[in-house]
Structure 1
């Protein structure tokens, strides 16, 4: 059997490991070709390599092509006219086929996926369930297979790239807020939303759709599910509500707002989503009689509240870095489009100096600029390829307190510090991708933390 792995990043490597494990279990051999744009890539000795220019060509004769999330299936077919669509698959599709448990929870949305995915798993494990986290966060899903039992729960973060051609929906689908993103990959907003819709569209009547009732896109997508609906949001009609007082399931308080470990009103939405999904899972796993309720099962409310209280977020997502000379520093490098940056700005009442900019993703900055103009942001330090467009949007909104910070993180932090006063917040929330100056958002966030640490060593 001839198999190509198109793209040899984290998921592509997991596919290779999976295929070799399958060979050992079944005895069926396969010839694997690794295809990657990096001509210097080191590949295992047991595969063929097709690297650099033209790396996606000549795959017509393959029995199966595993595409990595960054590669569109229609690109593969355009470059390989003889390649049928049914011979293109993904690691995500293979995981759904091979997973020994049907208890799969999938989380998608434009922002908050990683936070919500992790919190769902924390709630389940705190309540005594076995839960595994993977997908677009942490461990590739195929690498989890050997550890999953038939009654375990699997919580996957699923991007639009992974959902684009998925052939089944998770048992519990979760859709957070949706806003324009990845329009450098998707042809338009309609295609982006359509990819997200697969979190619900292939569900059955026994499945569950958890959705953001305050977001028009998410509400529209939930209608595609024939399963039970659980709405979350701020309105009184939501099954799981987040208010200034706390998180409620119907009229029952799950946790007081002051006890929530995550900062910001946008994280209140994430907590509501995680609460709704985790309670639905717990009501199926425990003998409560009525699986359709939204309250925590008897004996679990303390565990649900404890997990929410003790979870303070993920690295590079509104991560508190430290304080230097009375100024607090927060790393929100994961915010690579305007929507999460707007949410980050709204998380602080203090004066803010915002580090903004990076490489393009096709975003429109008008709404972000208006938000900045009407917010406690005192100054914006601009950087990267998008600095010019950001400057134009800010000035159009009447915000002129901006400056160029250079193209190195120490200089960006130094410029931000020079604009900040005691009691202010310096917030790295770029609203752009990072590939013009950094390896990825993690590298960008790590360099920010190192630059902040250096301030206290001066």
Structure 2
């Protein structure tokens, strides 16, 4: 689907976040006279009217009746196509598409490497760009990581490689764009975003659409993930990482087949899962026809991403770690593993989208921290599951009304044993929606409450093309 094919059609934009604004600018750059309707919130409508675009109509209620009046609706990723009004409009013939699909339809040039997975995709995509650049390759770091694809519609010159992060909200768009990715990396599949997808089965199906419908020329898959290891992809060549024939870890040591490459223990990649994702990156680089082994040591100069197991400093003997991007219980368990052996006060909870926490509660019988403080919309549900476990395992369990209260309780729990050497770890295992716009805002507030400058911990290095 090319942007030019929207000419003469009835077209609407649904959503006015960064992706929505990028879609508007991209369409206007190609089709300046196309009539558009924007569906957005009342607050966003004020900004939209400030454009003074006579060909832009703005409405604040996206009903099924109104959506069905359009041939195409360019939808922002956060808006689920499974909402009742979207499904009803689709039955009337309205087609929904995202900015990712429009970008892929333009065939801009350069080789595309798409990265998805329930956890680790941002670090993996950024590390991929870092190593390619270290090898002298002009590379774009774009997508869900912070630069919508439609913001880089006409690069001059195009990069040699595109490192593209895709969320489960975007993976289905790739097949709709008409162009096949050169490489698609799938890291892992755990239950997430069930409120958007409607069920765990649909989440898995949507996540895998990058592979099943996008039909990449090469699929780089995690040999240790049960969902991915069972995949059959007749249209793609599969390169596995995490098995002994390819790139894998033995303890902390990185191997390529039977060749020892380097020790990864000192790399700035927090958590064994992130060092494992280095194997995914090197497998993808190798699949592109590049000798990956000489690039592996450049991982030592990688700058860790904010909000991802990010140490932000220490105050009064307590270290603060910001893992705000953690939106699943699996991610929280991985965070705890990184700090095993430390005195941890863990903050969990946030927006409730129906993800099951029973497995996490059971895990706390064996690997509980010193204290857990629940918070957010699903905090009471998590607290109820943890209460009998805490009584048996002997860890402190608190319930907080908000993040500030949770921080206070965490400090008190650590201070009960002197405070020195403790870690306040915010790894919520849930989205930030409600009190915060996104996980970045939640991470910034965490930094402020800990007594640090939020601006100093928020920037992602290397975004864009270089």
Q: TM-score, normalised by structure 1?
A: 0.87
**CA displacement 1:249-280 (0-9 Å, x = unmatched):** 21233331234221211112221111211232
Question: Is residue 398 of structure 2 the alignment partner of residue 403 of structure 1?
Answer: yes
Deviation at 1:191, TM superposition (A): 1.0
Equivalents in 2 of 1:412, 1:203: separation in Å? 43
Question: Does the 8 Å contact 1:327/1:422 carry over to 2?
Answer: yes
Corresponding residue of 2:302: 311
Change (3 A) 1:148 1:367: farther
**SS state at 2:370 partner:** strand
Q: Which residue does 2:101 correspond to in 1?
A: 93
Aligned to 1:228: 237
Residue aligning to 1:207? 217
Q: Give matches, 1:323-342, under 5 Å.
A: 323-342=314-333
Contact 1:6–1:56 (CA under 8 A) maintained in structure 2: no
Q: 1:37·1:55 contact (CA, 8 Å) conserved in 2?
A: no
For the structure 1 residues 427 and 172, does the alpha-carbon distance in structure 2 shift closer, same or farther, using more than 3 Å as the test? same
The equivalent residue for 1:131 is: 139
CA distance in 2, matches of 1:142, 1:119: 22
In the alignment, the residues of structure 2 paired with residue 82 and residue 323 of structure 1 have an alpha-carbon distance, to the nearest angstrom, of 55
Counterpart in 1 of 2:462? none
Retained in 2: the 8 A contact 1:132–1:148? Answer: no
Deviations 1:355-385 (A, max 9, x none): 1111112111111122233225110111111
* TM superposition shift of 1:115: 0.5
Distance change >3 Å, CA 356–CA 396, structure 1 → 2: same
Name the CA distance, whole Å, in 2 between partners of 1:160 and 1:128. Answer: 31
Cα distance in 2 for partners of 1:98, 1:454 equals 43
Aligned equivalents of 1:16 and 1:254: distance in 2? 47
2:68 equivalent in structure 1: 60
Q: Note the alpha carbon deviations across 1:127-158, whole angstroms, 9 max, x for none.
A: 01111011111110011122264561111111
Deviates more, 1:224-233 or 1:339-348: 224-233
1:247 alignment partner in structure 2? 254
Contact 2:328 2:430 in 1 (8 A): yes
> Does structure 2 conserve the Cα–Cα contact (< 8 Å) formed by 1:8 and 1:36?
yes
Partners of 1:100 and 1:148 within 8 A in 2: no
1:162: Cα distance to partner? 0.9
Pair 1:262–1:39, CA change in 2 (3 A):
closer
Q: CA deviation at 1:77?
A: 4.5
Q: 1:131 to 1:224 in 2, by over 3 A?
A: same
TM-score when normalising by structure 2:
0.86
Residue 81 of structure 1 and its aligned partner are, at CA, apart by: 5.9
Q: 1:263 aligns with which of 257, 270, 275?
A: 270
Q: What is aligned with 2:428?
A: 430
SS at match of 2:305: coil
Once the two structures are superposed, residues 62-88 of structure 1 have per-residue CA deviations (whole angstroms, 9 ceiling, x without a partner) of 232111112233545434366425x32
Q: Secondary structure at the match of 1:377?
A: coil
Asked whether the 8 Å contact 2:262–2:297 carries over to 1, the reply is yes
Matched, 1:34 2:26: no
CA distance in 2 between partners of 1:15 and 1:157 (Å): 18
**Corresponding residue for 1:415?**
409
Q: Which residue of 1 aligns with 2:119?
A: 111
The CA distance in 1 between the partners of 2:87 and 2:188, in whole Å, is: 33
Asked if the contact 1:179/1:339 (under 8 Å) is kept, the reply is yes
Aligned residue number for residue 348 of structure 1: 339
1:78 aligns with 2:87: yes
Change (3 A) 1:356 1:184: same
Using the alignment, how far apart are the partners of 1:11 and 1:56 within structure 2? 22
1:183–1:189 Cα contact (<8 Å) kept = yes
Confirm or deny that 1:357 pairs with 2:357.
Answer: no
Q: Which residue of 2 aligns with 1:186?
A: 197
Deviates more, 1:30-39 or 1:375-384: 30-39
Structure 2 SS opposite 1:161? coil
2:3 matched to which residue of 1? none
Aligned to 1:452: 450
Q: Are the aligned partners of 1:244 and 1:257 in contact in 2 as well (CA < 8 Å)?
A: no
Instruction: Write the deviation string for residues 281-334 of structure 1: whole angstroms up to 9, x where unpaired.
Output: 252xxxxxxxxxxx52xxxx443311x111142100000111122221100010
- Is the Cα contact below 8 Å between 1:92 and 1:141 reproduced in 2? yes
**In 2, Cα distance between the equivalents of 1:38 and 1:338?**
34
Ranges in structure 1 where 5+ consecutive residues have no aligned partner: 284-294
What's the Cα RMSD here?
Answer: 2.3
